[in-house]
Structure 1
């Protein structure tokens, strides 16, 4: 369905613009060419197709079932790599060829960002499966990233890039913990299975706590800085509604992240979790947790890289 919408939108754009080249489309509208309704409809279809791929509301309905039903390593993969690639593609599509048509796509992104943040935060509260919870969490995080993109500014794009770079580390780390949750070789995927994890496997519990604090946006974890730069860009662009909704939904989201920490540290153990005996998995857990925990010590490489990338996008 998403590919069909994407293709149909691209065909409409080609039909009304006469080209599919990013540079030529950008030059066409930079010169003040008339914007036909057909082209705007095509652009909306393209954005809807990409919204499916990044799990942005209201095109998110496939995500929880696929996250829960797919093997956990597969879920971990498409929760990170394709999502980040699709966000990068959406950023290029709206900023390069259609950068001069911000008035046409702005309201679409505003609605999508708000819906994603609200649905991702509130619906996650009711989940009992950790993979479904991570699905709604990813919907919420996409909403925060779209806040930066909605501004249409260089600072906003920089915020999106910073957010997604930090999101990759948090997400891969959290799924590494989920993959490590086994009892007698059997995968554990229910939230109740985390009960008392600090008593049976304290290192795994501490690692998961780091990722949950970070996803909740609690300083000095990396996730706090991701939200900080996105919200600062929104405020600078006078997108106050988005910033306020983002902060409020972050508070709601913190509930279910902190609930997992409470379950791990204050509830009695439900099962005895196996020790992590995979060196590769241990390495992933250590690297991602240290990056998430200590990002504030040396943030310059990520911040400067994102700034350079955003500047290059606007230089064109």
Structure 2
């Protein structure tokens, strides 16, 4: 008689999946006029899922025949994913109404995508890794093309889907090679096999393909090519979502994949991560300089930030993983705040995306300009903003691991990247407005801009809770 698996560690995922189905039925019976209600209920579902994550989290527990793991690392990263999804969903409510995109499927698809992200974070097998990745991606393909009357949105969804299918093929091919040469797809079994010294060239090739498939979701160089077009073409609220929650989930997946099953091969995979990190930092710094569309600029910015996060992973140490987690937590607040400002960019009721459209913002919207300046200074890594400490910890981990060249490249690329962040500040404060932005700003945007700006600016007063949480979570990956 088959033994019933312990479903308690997977309660957040189960709850979100059931909630998504219930919200979809509610939307079907009440019609598109209930979109805001379904959106708020979706936010409530994400909050409840966060409570369940805290309730079931604790010591490492593996269930579902070894496919699913729950530990302190999973708790920390899942809370970041849920926070990012909930905040972007709140931001998008007024935007989708103004842009005639107000349909109940929108919040439901975000909930379904978030369910896949939680599965990604807790994957303990290459098979469950793939299932979680595809659950997240399939919903993301749809919301990228959600504005059906826009050729740009349809193009963004198509590009994302085609290139996503390519990355999935690479991931599956790599997984088959790993299974063929190691005899297992389970992370625990792979760790035992590799620790015993059974490493072949075929296994390393499989690892490269798996890493390439995951790197696509990270939009790390050289698998970044979809990011600028998809970010620019997707509705702005969708771009905000893509820039936050899926990034965090993909980095969490990459960290668990490399540290747990392939932790004994750190010298081999470090070369791959080193290359992706350097490429992402340099491309993110230099390619963004000539951009005139702020969403496209944020796409290159996100590629650069992934590069900085990978600096900590390249260290392959507990300190490095702590730096990655700390960086992602800060990254969420900086990006949510910046996209909240971008969503407020409207002229005569029409959404605008040009960097020059921010000209004169300090005169027409002084508090909005101040908040945007804080986010730009933080992304550039200028103290005492939170972004400075995020970069400090990942560079510190690289130096501890004697990756001096990587740390130096990171610092230099950060200096180059400061140029285009400061250019936005210059446009807001020193350029004259041709046509000022509309005065009306949604209440939820005002609240989120203020909250994220205060967190980013004043973080250095109370950094201990976040640092301690990241340290405890990172230690759980190295406990074995």
> Counterparts of 2:311 and 2:449 in 1: how far apart (Å)?
29
What aligned pairs does 1:109-148 form with structure 2 within 5 A after superposition?
A: 109-148=273-312
Conserved? CA contact 1:173–1:285, under 8 Å: yes
Aligned to 1:80: 244
> Counterparts of 1:148 and 1:270 in 2: how far apart (Å)?
43
Residue 218 of structure 1 is aligned with which of 368, 372, 382?
382
Conserved? CA contact 1:194–1:270, under 8 Å: no
Which is greater in Rg? 2
> Counterparts of 1:270 and 1:83 in 2: how far apart (Å)?
36
> Counterparts of 1:276 and 1:149 in 2: how far apart (Å)?
43
> Counterparts of 1:277 and 1:262 in 2: how far apart (Å)?
22
Aligned to 1:15: 180
Conserved? CA contact 2:322–2:470, under 8 Å: yes
> Counterparts of 2:430 and 2:443 in 1: how far apart (Å)?
29
Alpha-carbon distance, 1:276 to partner: 4.1
Give ranges in structure 1 of 5+ residues lacking alignment. Answer: none
What aligned pairs does 1:214-293 form with structure 2 within 5 A after superposition?
A: 214-293=378-457
Matched, 1:49 2:213: yes
Q: 1:165 to 1:276 in 2, by over 3 A?
A: farther
> 2:224 is paired with a residue of what secondary structure?
coil
> Counterparts of 1:283 and 1:313 in 2: how far apart (Å)?
36
> Counterparts of 1:214 and 1:132 in 2: how far apart (Å)?
19
> Counterparts of 1:11 and 1:123 in 2: how far apart (Å)?
36
Conserved? CA contact 2:344–2:441, under 8 Å: no
> 2:290 is paired with a residue of what secondary structure?
coil
Residue 178 of structure 1 is aligned with which of 329, 332, 342?
342
Using structure 1 for the length normalisation, give the TM-score: 0.98
Conserved? CA contact 2:308–2:391, under 8 Å: yes
> 2:287 is paired with a residue of what secondary structure?
helix
Aligned to 2:474: 310
Conserved? CA contact 1:214–1:292, under 8 Å: yes
Deviating more after overlay: 102-111 vs 135-144: 102-111
Higher RCO (C-alpha 8 Å, min separation 6):
1
Structure 1 runs of 4+ with >4 Å offset: none
Alpha-carbon distance, 1:31 to partner: 2.0
Aligned to 1:68: 232
> 1:273 is paired with a residue of what secondary structure?
coil
Aligned to 1:191: 355
> Counterparts of 2:469 and 2:172 in 1: how far apart (Å)?
32
> Counterparts of 1:164 and 1:29 in 2: how far apart (Å)?
29
Conserved? CA contact 2:359–2:429, under 8 Å: yes
> 1:315 is paired with a residue of what secondary structure?
coil
Alpha-carbon distance, 1:277 to partner: 3.3
Using structure 2 for the length normalisation, give the TM-score: 0.65
**1:81-117 Cα shifts (integer Å, max 9, x gaps):** 0010000000000000000011221111111110000
What aligned pairs does 1:81-96 form with structure 2 within 5 A after superposition?
A: 81-96=245-260
**1:232-283 Cα shifts (integer Å, max 9, x gaps):** 0101110000000000000000000001000100110122111243121111
> 2:398 is paired with a residue of what secondary structure?
helix
Aligned to 2:272: 108
The number of aligned residues is 315
> Counterparts of 1:258 and 1:174 in 2: how far apart (Å)?
14
